[in-house]
Structure formats: structure tokens, C-alpha cells
Amino acid sequence: MPTDTKRVRGPEVSQSPSLFLCKTAAKKSTASNDARVDGRQRGQVDVRSVFVRCGLISQAKGSAYIEAGNTKLICCVYGPRETERKDETDMKSGRLITDMRFAPFSCRERGSWIQGSDEKDLSLMLLESLRPGVCLQKYPRSQIEVNVMVLENDGAVLAHAVTCASMALADAGIEMYDLVLGCSIRQEGATYLIDPTFLEENGCNLASGSRENLGSLTVAFLPSLNQISGLQSDGEMGEDTLTGGVRTCIEGCFKLYPVIQQALSKAVRRKAPPSES
């Protein structure tokens, strides 16, 4: 690996202390199968309560912050401004650029400052999910930048990134067809865990030993158009399970919808207070 000369360097190698955990620490709670660690129930559309706020970053055109359980994300939108790549053939519509990054301290294992391939994948998925919601033809020859920073990763980051980014776009006054909301589930056999935490996402406390229908699903959804703009699934799931999962995610999005609407209208009211008369 080439040495990074643009940062203060530490030792060549260092290991996370979690690799050397005492064996005694690993004990499993064999409580009721239905309850999840944070008290939610399996198989129910029980998304974590979210805290959202718009317009926190003074320098950005639009910004949003979302907190769901311990997952914390911040998103800033800059633009529309003149596109940097003038050689692009399609100048009739605007260009959407997404950049999603994890802060080095956001995960259990310290991440690198250099953007990894998973961050690039997530950026791309975010882009694909957002694009159908934005009226890009209204912004010819310009680009709109969406920057997402994950401050703490406790599962379902992509889903929340989609929600957060669409809020920031709305806060920036970018014309959109609809908001884009995201929701994730983790399928474990016959049951599912909606809006999974980091441990649940990685199957750390798998309830049953079955390996069938095990996977994750993230859906990006346009609530008032009732359309799906992004769908990402991994693992192995049957057709029925998958369609059921998509339906569950949509249900989850609808739970989120009023909270987001409220936060946005609050932001608008703050920006342009209703006249006294």
C-alpha cells in the first residue's frame, strides 16, 4: 500500500482491541424469540423513532440531519452550480453528484480516511435512488452536489441516507417530483427485522439456525407518487418473501413520512416566517 503523505501517520499496523476480547464476554441472551435487543418486536413494522432537523449547516444551500436509534447522518446539498465536466454530452439536464462517506470513528472498527469501495457503492446506490425524484431537466448545464457523512453507523445507513439526502435537497429548494424515503429490513427465515441495527444487520444474534430466506433489503420509495425508485437486496430470498419484504418497507416508509413532512414544514416556516398581517 502506498504511504499516505497527506495525513499525519501512525504506526504501520495497529489492531482494533475488539480482536482480543476475553472469551467470557461473549454470552448470548436467550430471551424470548420475538423481542429484539432494543425492545422492538420481530415481524412488526416498528421502525426506530427518528429525530430529523433541516438547515443546520450554515455554509450549505440545504442540509439535513437524521438520527434513528444510534445511526446518525448528516447531509449537505450544494448547488445548482455550473457543471465541472463540460465535455458531457447531455447538457440539457442537470447532473446529480452524490458522495457518501463514513467518518473514521463511525464504525466499530476504525475506518480509513480514504474512500473505500463500499462507500463508492453506497454513493452510487444513493444516486440511483434519488435521481428519479429530482426534476433535473430544470437545471440544464449545472450540477447539484449531495454530500452525506455517516457520523455513527448503527445499521440501515443507506435507507436513512436516502431519506436524509432528499430532505436536504428539499431544504435547498431543489425542485423535486416527490420526497424519497428509505427503509431497510433484515429477513431472517419467516420473520423480519425492520430498520435493523448494526448487530442485527450482520446477523450477530441470529434467532434461528435456519439459513433459508436470509438477507437484507433496502427500498427507496416516492410516497405521494407511490413509486419505488431504488431497490437493493442481498442474500437469498424466495419470491414471496421478497415481495412481502418490499411491501413491509413501503409500510415503514409511510410511518416515516409524517415526521419528515413536519420537519420540512418547520424548516420552511423558520426560513420564511408567516407574515403578521
According to the binding rule CB under 8 A, does residue 272 interact with other proteins?
no
**CA–CA gap between residue 160 and residue 170 (Å, rounded):** 15
3-class secondary-structure state, position 128: helix
Contact 136, 169 (CB under 8 A): no
7 binds other proteins (CB under 8 A): yes
117 is a site residue for other proteins (CB under 8 A)? no
Report the alpha-carbon distance of residue 277 to residue 275 in Å, rounded: 6
Cβ contacts of 91 within 8 Å, gap of 6 or more: 83, 140, 141
| 134, 176 Cβ separation under 8 angstroms | yes
132 to 151: interface string for other proteins, x by CB under 8 A? -------------x-xxx-x
**Contact window for other proteins (CB under 8 A) among 10-18, 171-179, 205-213, 217-225:** 10-18
Is 105 or 225 the residue whose CB approaches other proteins more closely? 105
Contact 103, 148 (CB under 8 A): no
150 beta partners: 73, 102
Instruction: Compute, in degrees rounded to 10, the torsion defined by CA atoms 35, 36, 41, 45.
Output: -170
Candidate residues 101, 200, 230, 252; the one interacting with other proteins per rule CB under 8 A = 101
The residues facing 263 across adjacent strands are none
Q: Which of residues 15-74 bind other proteins (CB under 8 A)?
A: 15-18, 20-22, 25, 49, 51, 53, 56-60, 65, 67, 69-70, 72, 74
43, 104, 116, 238: residue in contact with other proteins (rule CB under 8 A):
104
Segment interacting with other proteins (CB under 8 A) among 11-19, 29-37, 185-193, 207-215: 11-19
Residues that bind other proteins (CB under 8 A): 3-11, 13-18, 20-22, 25, 49, 51, 53, 56-60, 65, 67, 69-70, 72, 74-76, 78, 81, 99, 101, 103-108, 110, 113-114, 145, 147-149, 151-154
